[in-house]
Chain A
């Protein structure tokens, strides 16, 4: 398996523009997570899905952020409009779940480095 795939790897955009980040989880994994990492705030969970359904979006900073998972093999994180403070590395991760006592190991993608000028 190729692992978790994210695109693009780097994104530079101007304030006010829409940004869409993409993620393809590992085949067969039923949990998908979106994280944001900055020097100041560390690694923050934004939202996670189970079987394509959003379970907890309490980490989404504000209404400018939205995430979708239309099928088991694809998810998007959209920021509209983008602001300079959104500059960060955004990671997608997936896990096999497997129930309450199942596998919790998360597999991370390489990340998308977003710069908003």
Chain B
């Protein structure tokens, strides 16, 4: 069963705009990660946020975590065409190392 659910399923924006994707989950977690997948490629880790953290930054990426609402958001600022990809959140499963991936948000950044 899937733990994380990304929203929206698809997002289309213009280059330079910000993109926000959300992830909701059902049960308590220790860690939540965000990954990116370019078409035809493997997933690439973007950022991990622990349950005792509320916000993390990495370059143009900003991730927030609200454990009371069981939700996380990924913000990409000043988007570029190269940001076009699918973005997945992953929440830890039963054994901690077993992360469950959501269905993903497909982001299209138009030049």
Contact = CB atoms under 8 A, between A and B. Distances in A.
Given A42-B2, A43-B88, A56-B94, A104 B99 contact: yes
A48 B35 CA distance: 19
Most chain B beta carbons < 10 A, residue from A31, A42, A97, A107: A42
B68 interface: no
A109 B37 CA distance: 12
A47 B35 CA distance: 19
Contacts of A104: 31, 33, 48, 92, 96-97, 99
A45 B100 contact: yes
Contacts of A50: 97
A105 B33 CA distance: 8
Given A97-B97, A104-B48, A104-B96, 16 more contacts: A43-B101, A45-B98, A45-B99, A48-B98, A50-B97, A56-B94, A56-B95, A91-B42, A91-B43, A93-B42, A100-B96, A104-B97, A105-B48, A107-B45, A108-B43, A109-B42
